[in-house]
Chain A
Amino acid sequence: MLNLILIGFAASAIAPFIYKPLKNYFGWIAATFPLYIFLSFISRYNQIAGGDIIRETFNWIPSLGINFTFLLDGLSLTFVLIITLIGVVVFLYAGAYMKDYDHADRFFVYIGIFMTSMVGMVISDNMITLFVFWELTSITSYLLIGFNHHKEKSRKYALQALLVTGGGGLALMAGFILLSQISGSLEISSLYDLNETIRNAPTYTAIVILVLIGAFTKSAQFPFQFWLPNAMEAPTPVSAYLHSATMVKAGIYLIARMNHSLGGSALWQDTILIVGAITMLFAATLSFNQMDLKKLLAYSTLSVLGTLTMLLGIGSKLAIKAFFIYIIAHSLYKGTLFLVAGILDHETGTRDVSKLGGLRKHLPITTVIAALASFSMMGIIPLVGFIGKETVYSAILEVDYWGLFLLSISVIANALIVMITILVGFKPFWGKLLSTPKAPHEAPIKMWLGPLALAVLGLLMGIFPNVFIGRLLDQSAISIISEKLELPIKLWHGFNFVLLMSFVTLLLGVGVYYFRTKILHIAQNLKIKNIFKPSEWYEFLLNGMMSFAKLQTKVLQNGYLRNYIIFILVTAVSLASLALFKVENLFRITPDFSITFYESAIVIIIVLATFMVIISDSRLKSIVGIGVVGFTMGIIFIIHSAPDLALTTFAIETLTVILFVLVLYKLPKFLPFSKSYSRLRDIIIASSVGLFMTLVVLYITSIELQSELKKFYTDNSVPGGKGRNVVNVILVDFRAIDTLGEITVLAIAAIGVFALLKLKLEDRNK
């Protein structure tokens, strides 16, 4: 299967090269590519339906357990077939639709990569490769939403969608890594037998939350649903393909896929059920005041995604059966309706429902397509949507305690979907002809052929459900709940409660359609403030970060070097003090108080000189003072048996003073810059640093010392280094590389000094 993925990426990459010369036929050519993948997979249909599972492994990073492991079972095959079949239609359609866009060639690259990644994702068995494909779909979605790039909105919403879905993907990755810590493997199939172990693991809750965040963001479940309607800025083929038929179902696919290993707990099932139910109802009500064809469809898609999630949460055999039928039905009719909306937009120049009407004479074929898809969406016999809705209702009815409640809210949600359907699928075509920005005419064949095929397929599936869905259903269910369904699928279940509910839904929907302006009016008068607006949370967070950044610029990053130093000092000293003050008996020290006359003289000199440097307002006095400090250091070294150090210090101090004197008159005079309060602050900081250091030295010198290196160096100095001054031997022999480095540092400093001075010289020459 890796070769199919590679072919997919390669085919996408060559699209720009053949687009220009073949522009007029490009839709047909492009459609062969998903068709090829569709055929390659459908050839394995019998094998999979017979109960086989195909598994292939290609090494990628074996040492980390990350490999291209592909697994084809009922669940993945169902999704692959949906993805590629709708792909054929969308690619063909886009050939005509995208013709007038700039960079249409780029569009085909993105959508080709998207389709390949989507296929790769659903057949991945390795969690990390699944994640990689997952993020690839997010990126391509991002590029495609932003494709109408002259709109400011497109840019904003493209990024928003990527942040939400890509971010969720990263959470998913964390969940996967945690999961792999339990099983020791990154293969999903290796988790199948570990359900019990995983559920008892301490990290189980974290895993569930992380995986579900990934799934909910991708499938736009509450409270992450806001990105999907905004993503309708994308060109219509993208909305039809990514944001209705395929990508948004990735999250649901993931829940289905992981149900095997993570499912069965109240946490998993209830979370999914509740979130799904909220999304179903909430999204449908939000569609109320929409007039944009695509927005309306987007809200209905959200509602359906909620229903699908809820079905997985119910998790019974019947629910899984409903899940599959509904997902197939929805992909067929919703993709079609989106494409119809695209045709309307393309041929009339508007997507505003209130401006569309009576177009059936101008767009006869489109009218038929829209009607077929709409009947399916409303759940009217004999279309596949009818079977879908029937099974969904019966699955919900099975639920203990909450069954009737869930059923009533799904009836309401579905009634609202019926209203949407009437608005999108019928209103533009029937009634009075309204004038539109462009003179309406029928779409070209490339644009209606595909939707027609999908709509007809929806009809055929409804009439012969067993032929199309039945055989794969059992195998798909095994992938989710490891049980066969053994529930026959048929169109007609007789007159029963569920059928009544379907009827109620329809009636209610039609009623809502007729009274919707009035209802809307009442709702507005109630002035219910919508607190459930997660999109505002998003804005709020973003603005919050901006203000944080501004605040830190004022407080921390204000450009004052002094503040940087104070911040560093205070942090470091407090960190170190924290460590130091934990020492017990810090003051048990008996320092060496024996002082000779010379020593006290030295101390007095060094202290006086130091204060002279600090207080002096004359540069010369300061330099004299610093020189005195340096030379006194040398004397301290002499007293304590370090003649080499003393010599070096004397030499260096002399050089420092000379250097200072040389550049002295190039340097500015001291001016009393600081205010007295900042002086006071600095004195406090400086004193605490000094005090801290003194304490540290006192503490260290009170500890016993045993130095083996000392003995090593003195013992080996003569035999090994042939020298009697041990310090020198260490410098030029034992630690010669130190010295070599030291010389290099000096040389580089010299070059630096030279470079700085040379700059000055060149200025003067100019």
Chain B
Amino acid sequence: MSFLLALIIGILYGAGTYMILRRSLVKVILGLIFLGHAANLLIFTIGRLTKGAPPFIPQGAETLAEPYADPLPQALILTAIVIGFGVQAFAIVLFKRTYQTVGTDDLDKMKSTDELK
């Protein structure tokens, strides 16, 4: 399945990139969510895939015998997912407020830059 996952990761990254290049704010948020998914899946896939062997140590045993899934990437992704959610929530609220203050969700209308003599 790793080939398919590689494909999915590519599609998610591509979709995310396309979306954050839109002018509409909401689409940009959606793009960020795509990128978040893509990154998580990326770490997950390059940590290698194992089917049907979660890293649970059964009662009575001291350790696990191969094959079993690597627990470390899972722990890292868990942290990343949660942080990603925090960032997402912040993004949604920030965008909403920007929309209310600026009065547009067209990013191309937000372009203050150098004012030269």
B11 touches A610 (CB 8 A): yes
**How far apart sit A659 and B97, CA to CA, in the bound complex (Å)?**
15
Indicate if A519 sits at the interface (CB-CB under 8 A). Answer: no
B3 touches A591 (CB 8 A): yes
Interface positions of A from 677 to 691, Cβ below 8 Å from B: 682-683, 685-687, 689-691
**How far apart sit A659 and B30, CA to CA, in the bound complex (Å)?**
13
Interface positions of A from 582 to 598, Cβ below 8 Å from B: 591-596
Interface positions of B from 17 to 63, Cβ below 8 Å from A: 17-27, 30, 33-34, 37-38, 40-42, 44-46, 48-59, 61-63
A561 touches B107 (CB 8 A): yes
**How far apart sit A659 and B107, CA to CA, in the bound complex (Å)?**
22
Indicate if A649 sits at the interface (CB-CB under 8 A). Answer: yes
**How far apart sit A371 and B72, CA to CA, in the bound complex (Å)?**
93
**A 653-684 to B, binary, CB cutoff 8 A, 1 in contact else 0:** 00110011001001110110110000000110
Indicate if A569 sits at the interface (CB-CB under 8 A). Answer: yes
Q: Chain A residues with Cβ under 8 A from B68's Cβ?
A: 641, 714
- In this complex, the member of B50, B68, B81 whose beta carbon has the largest number of chain A beta carbons within 10 angstroms is B81
Measured CB to CB, the closest approach of chain A to B53, in angstroms, equals 5
A727 touches B71 (CB 8 A): yes
Q: Chain A: interface residue count, which band? A: 35 or more
**A 722-766 to B, binary, CB cutoff 8 A, 1 in contact else 0:** 001111001100010011001001101110110011011000000
B74 touches A645 (CB 8 A): yes
A562 touches B21 (CB 8 A): yes
Indicate if A613 sits at the interface (CB-CB under 8 A). Answer: yes
A277-285, A310-318, A326-334, A549-557 - the one binding chain B: A549-557
**How far apart sit A726 and B86, CA to CA, in the bound complex (Å)?**
25
**How far apart sit A593 and B7, CA to CA, in the bound complex (Å)?**
12
A119-127, A439-447, A698-706 - the one binding chain B: A698-706
Indicate if A207 sits at the interface (CB-CB under 8 A). Answer: no
Pick from B33, B81, B99: contact of A667, CB under 8 Å:
B99
B24 touches A673 (CB 8 A): yes
Interface positions of A from 384 to 437, Cβ below 8 Å from B: none
A690 touches B13 (CB 8 A): yes
Indicate if A201 sits at the interface (CB-CB under 8 A). Answer: no
- In this complex, the member of A566, A600, A656 whose beta carbon has the largest number of chain B beta carbons within 10 angstroms is A656
- In this complex, the member of B21, B22, B50 whose beta carbon has the largest number of chain A beta carbons within 10 angstroms is B21
**How far apart sit A569 and B16, CA to CA, in the bound complex (Å)?**
12
Indicate if A467 sits at the interface (CB-CB under 8 A). Answer: no
A1-9, A211-219, A238-246, A631-639 - the one binding chain B: A631-639
B71 touches A659 (CB 8 A): no
Q: Chain A residues with Cβ under 8 A from B52's Cβ?
A: 641
**How far apart sit A550 and B62, CA to CA, in the bound complex (Å)?**
68
Pick from B10, B25, B71: contact of A726, CB under 8 Å:
B71
Number of A-B contacts (CB under 8 A): 293
Q: Chain B residues with Cβ under 8 A from A636's Cβ?
A: 5, 41, 44
Measured CB to CB, the closest approach of chain B to A329, in angstroms, equals 49
Least CB separation from A753: chain B residue = B93
**How far apart sit A559 and B90, CA to CA, in the bound complex (Å)?**
23
B94 touches A698 (CB 8 A): no
B75 touches A562 (CB 8 A): no
B86 touches A749 (CB 8 A): yes
B24 touches A671 (CB 8 A): yes
In this complex, how many residues of chain B approach chain A with their Cβ under 8 Å: the count is 93
A626 touches B30 (CB 8 A): yes
**A 698-724 to B, binary, CB cutoff 8 A, 1 in contact else 0:** 101100010101100111011100001
Indicate if A532 sits at the interface (CB-CB under 8 A). Answer: no
Indicate if A607 sits at the interface (CB-CB under 8 A). Answer: yes
Q: Chain A residues with Cβ under 8 A from B3's Cβ?
A: 591-593, 698
B116 touches A752 (CB 8 A): no
Q: Chain B residues with Cβ under 8 A from A639's Cβ?
A: 1, 51
**How far apart sit A200 and B57, CA to CA, in the bound complex (Å)?**
71
Q: Chain B residues with Cβ under 8 A from A557's Cβ?
A: 113-114
**How far apart sit A643 and B56, CA to CA, in the bound complex (Å)?**
10
Least CB separation from B107: chain A residue = A561
B89 touches A687 (CB 8 A): no
A663 touches B96 (CB 8 A): yes
Least CB separation from A613: chain B residue = B30
Pick from B44, B89, B97: contact of A760, CB under 8 Å:
B97
A633 with B37, Cβ < 8 A, contacts A659-B89, A670-B24 known: yes
B17 touches A685 (CB 8 A): yes
Measured CB to CB, the closest approach of chain B to A250, in angstroms, equals 36
A668 with B10, Cβ < 8 A, contacts A569-B17, A719-B62, A727-B74 known: no
B82 touches A738 (CB 8 A): no
B113 touches A559 (CB 8 A): yes
B6 touches A698 (CB 8 A): yes
Sample of 9 further A-B pairs with CB below 8 A, known A687-B14, A727-B78? A656-B88, A668-B25, A670-B27, A686-B18, A698-B3, A701-B2, A710-B71, A714-B55, A760-B97
Can you identify 12 A-B contacts, CB atoms within 8 angstroms?
A553-B113, A591-B6, A652-B81, A652-B82, A656-B85, A673-B22, A689-B13, A697-B2, A697-B10, A700-B45, A707-B72, A710-B70
Task: Name B residues whose Cβ lies closer than 8 Å to a Cβ of A.
Answer: 1-15, 17-27, 30, 33-34, 37-38, 40-42, 44-46, 48-59, 61-64, 68-72, 74-79, 81-90, 92-97, 99-100, 104-108, 110-114, 116
* Pairs of residues from A and B, 9 with the lowest C-beta to C-beta distance, nearest first: A690-B14, A559-B111, A694-B10, A749-B86, A559-B113, A591-B3, A641-B69, A686-B18, A673-B23
